[in-house]
Structure 1
Amino acid sequence: MTTINIRDFIAEARFNRFHAGMLFWSCFIITFDMYDLIVYGSVLPVLMKEWSMDPIQAGAIGSYGIFGMMVGAILFGILADKLGRKRVLMASVILFSLASALCGIAPGPLEFSILRFLGGLGIGGILPCLIAMLTDYAPKGRANTFIAVLMCFFSVGGILAAFVSMLLLPSLGWHAVYFVAALPLLLLPFMHKYFLDSPAVLLGKGRISELRTALAKVNPAGELRGNVEFTGLQDREAGSPVRALFTHRRALGTIMIWVAFFMCLLMINGVSIWLPKLMVTAGYALNSSLTFMIVLNVGAIAGTLLLGKLSDKWGVKKVLVPMFVISAISLTLLGYGNNMAILLVLVFITGACTMGAQNISYSFVSQYYPSFMRSTAIGLASGVGRLGAIVGPTFGGVLLTMNLPVQMNFLFFAIPGLFAALAFTFVPLASRARGAQERDNGPEAFAANSASRAT
């Protein structure tokens, strides 16, 4: 009987056509994930006029999608570790695509709001499944890069929403803009074969033939003939994956990760919403302020790709902590700058070190926990982070009502970045589970204790 360590078998694989397909369809889903979330802003002026909505009602409808994302990330993240990520991922794609497409035939604000919430549920379930799947099956030294590329397609989704709205709104109306959201639903049969359940779920449920098929796709050069005993994955622990977040010395790491996600998303959403207003307050024209927003998002894309590469080389935690410190410094300096070129550089750095670092934070969470609880961990961290995203714009509004000097406004937005850096500093990279040392592969401190099942 041949013994195969699953983690080593996957790590030794070369990047191949299956990896490319898995990454391509993951990015495709994320593109429409973001499209469905923000396209509401593109059609909002038309809807307010057609349905006679006031700003408060329109804003509330926008919040339903974000609230749905928070609930969906937690709910579907937990279900993915129980039922399998492939099943939950497909259900999430169907839910957000169908709900968003049906928004195009909603007769009024009530029905539209319900569909926005349902779409948000599906959107929330996407990220925990995709990040966990890519982490599970990435070759050695590729996980952070995979996730960095994936997270950049959030920005692609925002660009797509803008272009589709510009193209379809004048000629076909707002309904057609939402019908485009059905495209992932139509292409689901083509991407289906690239969705894989985690090796831990397949092994734990005795689905050995499916495990063999998955491993053969990921590493076709590997030897899987004859009787095989699979090892290299930690035993599924008793109780729920939620409880497991706080057992075996994981409690401190879990709490610190949640604090970091809350603080980072508070900072990101607050700055994203209020940066143009803050720059206008500082004496810059509105057009210049909007330019800062473009540079901020370009910095986010560049930062995500660069930090992903650096994380694969040096370790995620070693990259995250200094990046959050730099983000706080660059935000603070924005309040004192008066040279346009210097300000643009500072805004670029801010985007790279806030949004870029936050995107890589998902990779850190995915690799910090064992495979059997990975989607749960990502879902809950994302859900807690969404609370910070909700607080961020309100936090900025409160600051502006206090009529503080513009330097103080930027300083207060920078402070959460320091808290995020401090929180990640206290996340222990190595822990013990069931008396055995978990593997600390640099930043990829996920457990790889032995657990086997014979074919």
Structure 2
Amino acid sequence: MTATTMNVNAVIDQAKFKPFHLTVVLWCLFVVLFDGYDLAINGVALPLLMKEWSMTAVQAGMLASTALAGMMFGAMLFGMLADKIGRKKVIIICVTLFSGFTFAGGFASNPTEFGILRFIAGLGIGGVLPNLVALTSEYAPQKFRSTLVTAMFSGYAMGGIMAALLGVAFTPTFGWKIMFFIAGIPLLFIPILWKFLPESVTFLVKDQQTEKARSIIQRLVPEETVTSDTVLVLNEAKVPDASVAALFKNGRG
């Protein structure tokens, strides 16, 4: 039976769990694993850098905070950018930033260079996380949504554990730089991410990329017939009160 109008949000909410969903979760898990790793390597590298560059604890703390500052700006910048160019593109940009500039950090010769590279890497570290959560949440069927988002997000902690274990295994022999070179691994997967990570279907519908959106919907519900005549619609969203006063309404104060 050919549908004439199809509510995208309802289709996703009611869909059965399929390999497509697993693909989305696993790729997002892979990215967030290295996202957590790239932030956690500060704890492994800084004690060694303090000795090599003769830094005090205060100087080392300031150096570590550069990535955190980058994360703050990255989360704000790339959250807004995703609404304009799509989540997939933003995720690819962020992976390039946090992986590429963390890798480059292994070549830093002084604290200033290191701090600049960590700040730029922090933009990607902070920017990718909300987009991964949003993409996973958007594609997850309603009854599995919390479980899938939590499972994906656990990769952040796993990345921290991976950094600690690899630090114990490799830094005594290869020094602190090896930790940053390992961070470059996701760069090799960018072409694969581009091919297999789907774009936000909500974005595709809003951006009138209907053919791509129909193709994804067909994969989500292969039992339905989605044709070029199928009109895709989204749930009507109520425009929220964005005033400063709204911060203090409904118990938020």
Q: Same fold (TM over 0.5)?
A: yes
Deviation at 1:190, TM superposition (A): 2.3
Q: Which amino acid aligns with 1:147?
A: V
- Is the Cα–Cα contact under 8 Å of residues 18 and 194 in structure 1 kept in the other structure? no
Counterpart residue number, 2:195 = 193
Counterpart residue number, 1:232 = 234
- Is the Cα–Cα contact under 8 Å of residues 24 and 198 in structure 2 kept in the other structure? no
- Is the Cα–Cα contact under 8 Å of residues 92 and 193 in structure 2 kept in the other structure? no
In 2: Cα distance, 1:132 partner to 1:153 partner:
15
Q: Which amino acid aligns with 2:198?
A: L
1:426 aligns with 2:242: no
In 2: Cα distance, 1:117 partner to 1:110 partner:
11
Counterpart residue number, 2:210 = 208
In 2: Cα distance, 1:200 partner to 1:48 partner:
47
Residues 79-109 of structure 1, C-alpha deviations (whole Å, 9 max, x = no match): 1111111111110011000010001111111
- Is the Cα–Cα contact under 8 Å of residues 9 and 222 in structure 1 kept in the other structure? no
Counterpart residue number, 1:177 = 179
Q: Which amino acid aligns with 2:115?
A: S
Q: How does 1:383-398 map onto structure 2 within 5 Å?
A: none
- Percent of pairs with identical residues: 37
Counterpart residue number, 1:94 = 96
Counterpart residue number, 1:163 = 165
Shift in alpha-carbon separation, 1:211–1:184, aligned structure 2, 3 A: same
Q: Which amino acid aligns with 1:198?
A: S
Range with bigger deviation, 210-219 or 63-72: 210-219
Shift in alpha-carbon separation, 1:251–1:11, aligned structure 2, 3 A: farther
Shift in alpha-carbon separation, 1:72–1:5, aligned structure 2, 3 A: same
1:129 aligns with 2:131: yes
Counterpart residue number, 2:64 = 62
Deviation at 1:245, TM superposition (A): 5.4
In 1: Cα distance, 2:244 partner to 2:38 partner:
35
Q: How does 1:269-308 map onto structure 2 within 5 Å?
A: none
Residues 359-391 of structure 1, C-alpha deviations (whole Å, 9 max, x = no match): xxxxxxxxxxxxxxxxxxxxxxxxxxxxxxxxx
Q: Which amino acid aligns with 1:229?
A: V
Residues 190-214 of structure 1, C-alpha deviations (whole Å, 9 max, x = no match): 2333433333321222111111122
Counterpart residue number, 2:117 = 115
Deviation at 1:138, TM superposition (A): 1.0
Counterpart residue number, 1:2 = 4
- Is the Cα–Cα contact under 8 Å of residues 13 and 219 in structure 1 kept in the other structure? yes
Residues 35-93 of structure 1, C-alpha deviations (whole Å, 9 max, x = no match): 10011111111111111111111100111111110110011001111111111111001
Counterpart residue number, 2:31 = 29
Structure with bigger gyration radius:
1
Counterpart residue number, 1:240 = none
In 2: Cα distance, 1:113 partner to 1:172 partner:
22
1:246 aligns with 2:236: no
Deviation at 1:184, TM superposition (A): 1.2
In 2: Cα distance, 1:194 partner to 1:233 partner:
26
In 1: Cα distance, 2:28 partner to 2:174 partner:
29
In 1: Cα distance, 2:172 partner to 2:37 partner:
19
Shift in alpha-carbon separation, 1:232–1:206, aligned structure 2, 3 A: closer
Deviation at 1:251, TM superposition (A): 6.6
Residues 105-128 of structure 1, C-alpha deviations (whole Å, 9 max, x = no match): 111111100011011100111112
Unaligned segments of structure 2, at least 5 residues: none
Counterpart residue number, 1:221 = 223
Q: How does 1:349-428 map onto structure 2 within 5 Å?
A: 426=251
Aligned length: 250
The CA RMSD measured in Å over matched residues stands at 2.2
Shift in alpha-carbon separation, 1:135–1:106, aligned structure 2, 3 A: same
Q: Which has the higher contact order (CA 8 A, sep 6+)?
A: 2
Deviation at 1:226, TM superposition (A): 4.3
Residues 228-287 of structure 1, C-alpha deviations (whole Å, 9 max, x = no match): 11123337x9xxxxxx6534x9974xx37xxxxxxxxxxxxxxxxxxxxxxxxxxxxxxx
In 1: Cα distance, 2:245 partner to 2:212 partner:
33
Q: Which amino acid aligns with 1:209?
A: E
In 2: Cα distance, 1:213 partner to 1:226 partner:
10
Deviation at 1:3, TM superposition (A): 1.1
Unaligned segments of structure 1, at least 5 residues: 238-243, 257-422, 428-455
In 2: Cα distance, 1:25 partner to 1:221 partner:
25
Range with bigger deviation, 87-96 or 204-213: 204-213
Deviation at 1:185, TM superposition (A): 1.2
Shift in alpha-carbon separation, 1:250–1:218, aligned structure 2, 3 A: farther
In 2: Cα distance, 1:245 partner to 1:65 partner:
32
Counterpart residue number, 1:52 = 54
